[in-house]
């Protein structure tokens, strides 16, 4: 069954490469457990990294995750825009999908 909370590309990864995606998800989980950041801060940092890397397909999932971790709408916006000085206005492309996902 297709998940509706992840992008089409990540869904293809999960369904077409199940062993690789399982290994990847285990690594992601272990990295999260090793982090010294709380869940909300980690979620906001992840949004910043996705926006800076222009990986907008992951923005909706991680914006919703940030909200679930206790982030406010203003914090999500701030996390995305923090990269403006470093990478320029390309980060603003991530605002619409992040805000849509945050408000769902």
For every residue of 29-66, DSSP letters joined together read HHHHHH-SS-HHHHHHHHHHHHHHTT-GGGHHHHHHHH
Q: Are residues 65 and 92 in the same domain?
A: yes
pTM of the model: 0.84
- Provide the domain count of the chain: 2
What local confidence, expressed as pLDDT, does residue 97 receive? 93
Return d(Cα 12, Cα 74) in angstroms, integer. Answer: 32
Q: Is residue 2 part of a domain?
A: no
- E strand spans, the chain: none
Q: Which two tokens stand for residue 59?
A: 């923005």
Encode the chain (104 residues) as per-residue pLDDT tens digits: 455 567 888 899 999 999 999 999 999 999 989 999 999 999 999 999 999 999 988 999 999 999 999 999 999 999 999 999 999 999 999 999 999 999 98
Q: Are residues 48 and 29 in the same domain?
A: no
What local confidence, expressed as pLDDT, does residue 55 receive? 92
Q: Are residues 27 and 42 in the same domain?
A: no
Q: Are residues 20 and 55 in the same domain?
A: no
Q: Are residues 90 and 66 in the same domain?
A: yes
Q: Are residues 71 and 101 in the same domain?
A: yes
Q: Are residues 32 and 70 in the same domain?
A: no
Q: Are residues 55 and 94 in the same domain?
A: yes
Which of 98, 86, 77, 96 is closest to 52 using CA atoms? 86
Q: Which domain holds residue 20?
A: 8-36
Q: Which two tokens stand for residue 78?
A: 């701030």
Judge whether 26 and 58 are in contact, CB under 8 Å.
no
């Amino acid at each position: 069954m297709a998940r509706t909370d992840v992008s089409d590309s990540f869904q293809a990864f999960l369904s077409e490469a199940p062993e690789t995606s399982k290994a990847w998800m285990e690594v992601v989980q272990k990295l999260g457990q090793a982090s010294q950041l709380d869940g909300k801060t980690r979620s906001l940092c992840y949004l910043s990294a996705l926006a800076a890397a222009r990986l907008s397909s992951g923005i909706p999932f991680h914006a919703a995750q940030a909200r679930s971790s206790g982030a406010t709408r203003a914090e999500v916006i701030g996390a995305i825009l923090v990269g403006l000085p470093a990478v320029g206005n390309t980060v603003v492309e991530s605002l619409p999908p992040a805000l849509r996902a945050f408000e769902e």
